Amino acid sequence: MNSNSFQIAILFNEDAQIARGDPQDLLAVQYTVTATQHLFDALTSLGYPVTKLAVRGNLEELEDILASFPPKDTFIFNNCDGFNGNNMGAVEVIRLIERMGFKHTGAASDSIEMCIDKPRSKERLIQFGVPTPRYQVFDRPAGDFLLEFPVIIKPSVEDASMGIDLDSVVSNRECLFHKIAYIVEKYEQPAMVEEFVTGRELAVAMWGNEVVEILPIAEEDFSWVENPLERLLTYESKWKTDSPYYQNIPARVPALLNRKETLAVKKAAEGSFRAMGLCDFGRVDVRFNNGIPFIIDINELPDLSPESGFWNSARTTGITYPHMIENILKLALKREGWTA
Stretch near ligand ADP under the rule CB under 6 A, chosen from 66-74, 151-159, 242-250, 267-275:
151-159
Stretch near ligand ADP under the rule CB under 6 A, chosen from 14-22, 191-199, 253-261, 306-314:
191-199
Which of 36, 161, 272, 312 contacts ligand ADP by CB under 6 A? 161
Count of residues that interact with Mg ion, criterion CB under 5 A: 2
Count of residues that interact with ligand ADP, criterion CB under 6 A: 18
247: three-class secondary structure by DSSP: helix
Which of 15, 285, 300, 303 contacts Mg ion by CB under 5 A? 285
- With vertex at residue 31, the alpha carbon angle to CA 41 and CA 87, rounded to the nearest 5 degrees, is 120
Which of 130, 180, 197, 218 contacts ligand ADP by CB under 6 A? 197
In whole angstroms, give the CA distance from residue 331 to residue 107.
Answer: 12
Which of 160, 191, 278, 333 contacts ligand ADP by CB under 6 A? 160
CB of 150 to ligand ADP, least distance (A): 9
**Cβ(123)–Cβ(157) below 8 Å:** no
74: three-class secondary structure by DSSP: strand
309 lies in the site for ligand ADP, by CB under 6 A: no
Which of 15, 25, 117, 201 contacts ligand ADP by CB under 6 A? 201
Closer Cβ to ligand ADP, 70 or 228, answer by number: 228
Strand ranges, E, within the chain: 7-13, 50-55, 74-79, 103-104, 135-138, 151-155, 169-170, 191-195, 200-208, 212-214, 218-220, 251-252, 280-289, 292-299
**Cβ(212)–Cβ(243) below 8 Å:** no
Pairing of strands 7-13, 50-55: parallel
- Residue 55 vs residues 15, 59, 185, 302: alpha-carbon distances, Å: 8, 8, 28, 18
Closer Cβ to ligand ADP, 35 or 164, answer by number: 164
CB of 152 to Mg ion, least distance (A): 12
Closer Cβ to ligand ADP, 48 or 196, answer by number: 196
Closer Cβ to ligand ADP, 50 or 232, answer by number: 232
- With vertex at residue 272, the alpha carbon angle to CA 267 and CA 275, rounded to the nearest 5 degrees, is 120
303 lies in the site for Mg ion, by CB under 5 A: no
CA atoms within 13 A of residue 197's CA, in its CB half-sphere: 23
* Cis amide prior to 190 (ω within 30 degrees): no
Span 271-300, contacts to ligand ADP by CB under 6 A: 285, 287, 296-297
Site residues (vs Mg ion, CB under 5 A): 285, 297
Site residues (vs ligand ADP, CB under 6 A): 133, 152, 154, 158-161, 164, 194, 196-197, 201, 232-233, 285, 287, 296-297
